[in-house]
Amino acid sequence: MKKISIKSWALDDRPREKLLLKGKSTLSDAELIAILIGSGNRDESAVGLAKRILVSVNNDLSSLAKLSVEELMKFKGIGEAKAISIVTALEFGKRRQFEEKVITPKISSSKDVAKIMLPLIGDLQHEEFWVLYLNNSNKVLAKHQLSKGGFTATLVDIRLLYKRGLELSSIGIIVCHNHPSGKLEPSRSDIELTQKIKKAGETLDIKLLDHLIITEKAYFSFADESIL
């Protein structure tokens, strides 16, 4: 099948040239994806293919970022290499967003924690359990993924949780995990685990400041709800 390369398009339809001449901010989402794709096929250009992919996710980049390599390859004209390019670019964007939010990570409320963690675990399809280690000024010394589980639960080793806290001379911790189901309410096991972590921290003089349940667009704070 003959491919339609970007070089054969009219100048106004060449996203690479448009980026060089007018700047990256002038490109649409479809044009940016078209640059990643590089070429279309006999039936449509790379921009057309990119638009078709975006339409399938209602032009929502967050939804696009959830598509796997295999799911992207279901689109005519997207092979494994192109699918990997799209997945890689979106992952870089996600990581950059996270890094920008933690340049000066100081925690003054649950909202500050959510700003750090929501881009990191909010849209995952499996559960992950993370710990933020804080100093006495409530600045984040480190963030650490303690465990990674399936769709329903994740195992937490409290000994490892506090081992890292002692190494960092942490004064307080905030734990977070996501609910892929989108349900914000804590389960009985969530509450029991929180109390177990709190009790262990009291012995080591490391205070559990909060436990956040994260979903794609919202969060639940144990401290805000006075159930810590």
Per the CB < 8 A criterion, the answer to whether 116 and 150 are in contact is: no
What pLDDT score does 15 carry?
84
Single-letter amino acid code for the residue at 49: L
What pLDDT score does 150 carry?
63
pTM: 0.57
Residue spans of alpha helices (H) in 57-187:
61-66, 69-72, 80-101, 110-121, 158-167
Distance separating alpha carbons of residues 78 and 71, to the nearest angstrom: 10
Per the CB < 8 A criterion, the answer to whether 177 and 129 are in contact is: yes
Name which of 174, 108, 119, 179 is nearest 142 in CA terms: 174
Q: Would you call 161 exposed, middle or buried from its count of C-beta atoms within 10 A (0-12, 13-18, 19+)? A: buried
pLDDT mean for each 10 residues of the chain (228 residues) = 48 74 84 86 83 91 89 90 91 73 72 91 89 92 85 73 93 94 89 93 94 92 91
Give the three-state DSSP class for 106.
strand
Distance separating alpha carbons of residues 14 and 40, to the nearest angstrom: 13
Q: The domain 110-221 is classified under which CATH number: 3.40.50.20, 3.40.140.10, 3.40.640.10, 3.40.50.2000?
A: 3.40.140.10
Q: What share of the chain is helix, strand, coil (3-state, %, to 5)?
A: 45, 15, 35
Distance separating alpha carbons of residues 222 and 228, to the nearest angstrom: 5
Distance separating alpha carbons of residues 221 and 71, to the nearest angstrom: 34
